[in-house]
Amino acid sequence: MQSKEYIGHGTKHDQWDLIDVVIDMAKAREHSFQYEGRTFVKFTVAARRQASEYGKTHTVYVRPKEAPAVAEAAEPAPKPTRRSKRAKA
């Protein structure tokens, strides 16, 4: 399993419950994906255990993409047959 790739950092405001985030777009583009004709980047913002030497209190990273599950070729379920209520002669 790959490790996280850090693409940015953030700083929590003292007065508000807000975090300013800065993202390295060159790194973020590598992890972008298309959905319905639009481009997205999914990332996680996590609190650091200690503030960095530059006062950064949060880190931003992307998780490695999981390998797509290989779907087994499922056979369709057989259709139920109707039985006649009449006895065959």
* 54, 10, 42, 62: CA torsion to nearest 10: 30
pLDDT in tens, 6-32: 899 999 988 888 999 999 999 999 999
Rounded to the nearest integer, the mean pLDDT of the chain is 81
Task: Using alpha carbons, list the distances in angstroms from residue 60 to 7, 27, 43, 63.
Answer: 6, 11, 7, 10
Structure pTM? 0.61
pLDDT in tens, 51-60: 999 999 999 9
